[in-house]
Chain A
């Protein structure tokens, strides 16, 4: 019934110093379809691969608008994501109401972190089963991209992906990271689509139904590109290889810290 002796509840340590239930929650994120996020000096783009349970069913929602300057992409339990996005929307409204100020992305992410941490330390609770990519454009500090996980880790990234087969997308992003800084929105989107394509199963292709794109940036409110509007980008994907290729092979990033 249990995989081992120490995973009966979240607040029990294993002798190796691990909390198994929390690690299982991280697995839930890996089972969701992939989401990709990448950032230039002016914009953030989020992309989601939408699953459908069958020919007759609609596709799931991967991107959520939080405020004019914030949007999220999710991987994992959609119902948990809806709870979190509701919370984030409320916090953004509070900031607008109290201070006439758009909620700074970093503070929003910290609030999520505090909320998720409580679920990892109280007996009888469960961690959220969803990972979030948070894109925000803040007054003064510009574009930001964050990843929030069930273990309450919230980190900022230049580019990141979560969900099933997200490692392939990460590999792509690491290869082209040098191009992102100065890239315009369309280039950023194309890089995003290429990264997202890496996460597909063998016989699948990206189409207007199974992906969605969200953009926020300088002078631009959060907007999503879905359905027919995706055509112009997907057509480019058919014809060409990556838009630009860095001449030199980039050194591999250091191994991830285990904290």
Chain B
């Protein structure tokens, strides 16, 4: 049923070849069998091949910051289905190796696929049993190749990933987006966080004169502050999140936690309060 009255009496959009794909992928005209056999022709239903054009079940921002002695990351436990807060117990921070954590925003099923890829790689390394394994920069490079390869097939994995770790006494914090764009920085925030949290993270680092002057306690407080701001203003976020700590001791991913919030002011907002 078309719910837009202006469309009534007009041909349904799916009856029209919007992108002039005729005769290659027309589902109106009868396409000869020999044509449908051509590789890349599309599906037998008569519709053209289509790739992911939007994420479905999504996670919002992931935050990461370097501090004295390690890297800390944070992400909430929500997987939204559109604007619906559909799954409230999803872990978006995942330990890949002894000193590496991946955090994902964007499509959750694509993240699950990437987790599987990375875990398979690590198992392969473990089975080789030759004293070599993949460190954070190696995993980062691999993830970059995977993401760029998929965008080159015009079928991207719809995520922005944050990879945090420690290798040879060096802290590592990097992000890769769905186009395979990599960048590294002392602080990283994806999605809505890149607008709301990144300025706070940068200010906190600058205020202290560099990441080396941030203690572990400070890092926790800074991330909690950012998560609170995001919960106030990002409608796809949730006040239940985890922190991941990566130091040369190893990885710890915390139990879900929340922050104190104050909503009394909301009463005075028109259209929000009573």
Contacts and interface: CB of A to CB of B under 8 A. Distances in A.
Contact of B130 (A100, A101, A106): A106
Interface string A74-99: 00000000000000000000000111
A99 B132 contact: no
A39 to B, nearest CB: 17
B138 A99 contact: yes
Interface in A107-145: 107, 138-141
Nearest to B121: A99
Nearest to B145: A98
Interface in B235-257: none
B142 A98 contact: yes
Contact of B134 (A99, A106, A107, A141): A99
Contacts of B131: 140-141
B132 A107 contact: yes
Interface string B135-170: 001101110010000000000000000000000000
Contact of B141 (A98, A138, A141): A98
Contact of A100 (B128, B132, B141): B141
Interface residues on A, range: 10 to 19
A113 to B, nearest CB: 13
B246 to A, nearest CB: 19
B142 A99 contact: yes
By size class, the interface of chain B is: 10 to 19
A138 B133 CA distance: 12
A107 B130 contact: yes
A99 B130 contact: no
A89 to B, nearest CB: 19
B130 A97 contact: no
Contacts of B141: 98-101
B132 A140 contact: yes
A107 B138 contact: no
A100 to B, nearest CB: 4
B138 A104 contact: no
Contacts of A107: 128, 130, 132
A219 to B, nearest CB: 15
A104 B142 contact: no
A35 B104 CA distance: 52
A81 B128 CA distance: 26
A101 B167 CA distance: 13
A70 to B, nearest CB: 14
B145 A104 contact: no
Nearest to A104: B132
27 contacts: A97-B145, A98-B141, A98-B142, A98-B145, A99-B134, A99-B138, A99-B141, A99-B142, A100-B137, A100-B138, A100-B140, A100-B141, A101-B134, A101-B138, A101-B141, A104-B130, A104-B132, A106-B130, A106-B132, A107-B128, A107-B132, A138-B132, A139-B132, A140-B131, A140-B132, A141-B131, A141-B132
5 A-B pairs with least C-beta separation: A100-B141, A99-B138, A104-B132, A106-B130, A101-B138
Given A98-B145, A100-B137, A140-B131, 16 more contacts: A97-B145, A98-B142, A99-B134, A99-B138, A100-B140, A100-B141, A101-B141, A106-B132, A107-B128, A107-B130, A107-B132, A138-B132, A140-B132, A141-B130, A141-B131, A141-B132
